[in-house]
Amino acid sequence: MTREEKELRRQQRERQRQVEMAARAAGRGPLDVPFLLLTLLLTAMGLIMLFSASFPMAIYESGDKVNAAYYLIRQGLFAVVGIVLMLIIGRINYARYRVVGKYVIAVAVILLVLVLIPGVGITRNNATRWLGFGELFTFQPSEIAKVGVILYFASSISKKKERMHTFKYGIAPYALLLLVIAFLMYKEPHLSGMVLILGIGAAMLFAGGIDMIWVGAGIGVGVLGVWGYLSGKISYNSARITVWRDPLTEDPELMQGAAYQIRQSLLAIGSGGLLGVGLGRSRQKFLYLPERHNDFIFAIICEELGMVGALLIMAIFALLILRGYWIALHARDRFGALLAVGVTTQVALQVFLNIAVVTNLFPNTGISLPFFSYGGTALVIQLAEMGLVLSVSRQMPPA
């Protein structure tokens, strides 16, 4: 290759780099392909495992008109809507989402209040967490609250910079908002959602640059709260604490409730062994394990795919989380970085807490596994949040 040809290629690469930089500045850069593929892979795997875990219940509930794919069809439709929404949100310049956060958080607080009004909220399993129209359409306002906290915190914190070191501007307003939301969710009660909201807020405040003394104070308060809950000092659900401490309890009342569920979950996990009993061949999903297609779907994964399959799914989640934080580190500005941190932290906490509950590492708090657990509204919101991260990835400075 001659010197002139090398120079020509160098000039072409430089022009291409300038074009890419201009496109990203206008919000028209390429989506982050690894993050997108990992999201689509988890969504597809979630639908497969949901069908496997749910078809016995679907057949049991369908009566004369057998429809084994009832839950799969409903979840699949929501998945299509969520993926379309993810791609649309990912194509929009994320700077436009700055003004949305305060409205989303306001709507979320109003909906959380409505849930607590007798006759308005929908109660299931002794918890009033839902709004909607009977069984036709229901949703948890806590899902909207998560998005609201991420959007509002990212927008507000990104504007303060040095003032985040002060208590008046960097701690007080955010702590007050988190306490209001946590109190409303505690009254439902929804302990897992409350922990998620507080964890997301704490992670975003840390990324926003608050003083380490407040980080240490927050960790101390969190440890104290966990100790109080597990020791029974904070009353929430004493039966769940008893079961967590001794899942083999012989109390007749507990054996038909929380103890029965965690026993069946541990039995499913142990039955899977190293390689599992085979996809679709779980025995615990035949009406033995409660919430087999929802909060406890990971137990069915362990039973059918074994420890190897479960570790593979956990590894894919880990790759998605690491890629999300990588996008946050390479974001164009503070607002984009905080958006990516908030969404990624939510996924990380939710996966960890769900697996911890299913394996009895933590007491049962009723938390779903992202992309896998049945719940159309939750899946749509999760995919929309992935769109926020993809929107941030489109404006990363080119390498």
pLDDT on residue 135: 61
Enter the pTM of the model: 0.89
Q: Is the pLDDT of residue 228 over 80?
A: no
Question: For 294-306, what is each residue's pLDDT tens digit?
Answer: 999 999 999 999 9
pLDDT bracket for residue 347 (50, 70, 90): very high
**Res 102: pLDDT:** 92
Our CA dihedral for 200, 202, 207, 211, rounded to 10 degrees, sits at 180
Residue 189 confidence (pLDDT) = 82
Percent of the chain beyond pLDDT 90? Answer: 58
Q: Are 293 and 54 in contact (CB under 8 A)?
A: yes
Average pLDDT over residues 116-135: 79
Can you give the pLDDT at residue 20?
A: 54
Is residue 36's pLDDT more than 70?
Answer: yes
- Confidence tier at 275 by pLDDT (50, 70, 90): very high
Q: State yes or no: pLDDT of 232 exceeds 80.
A: no
Q: What is the mean pLDDT of the chain?
A: 87
Q: What is the pLDDT of residues 366-399, one digit of tens each?
A: 889 999 999 999 999 999 999 999 999 998 876 6
- Strand partners for 122: 130
E strands, 102-188, are: 122-124, 127-133, 137-139
Tens digit of pLDDT for each residue in 154-193? 999 998 877 888 888 888 999 999 999 999 998 888 888 8
pLDDT of residue 23 exceeding 90: no
What pLDDT does residue 7 have? 79
Please report the pLDDT score of residue 65 as a whole number.
65
Kindly tell me the sign of the dihedral angle through the C-alpha atoms of 54, 362, 366, 201.
negative
Q: How far apart (Å, rounded) are the C-alpha atoms in residues 123 and 94?
A: 36
Q: Do 269 and 358 contact (CB within 8 A), yes or no?
A: yes
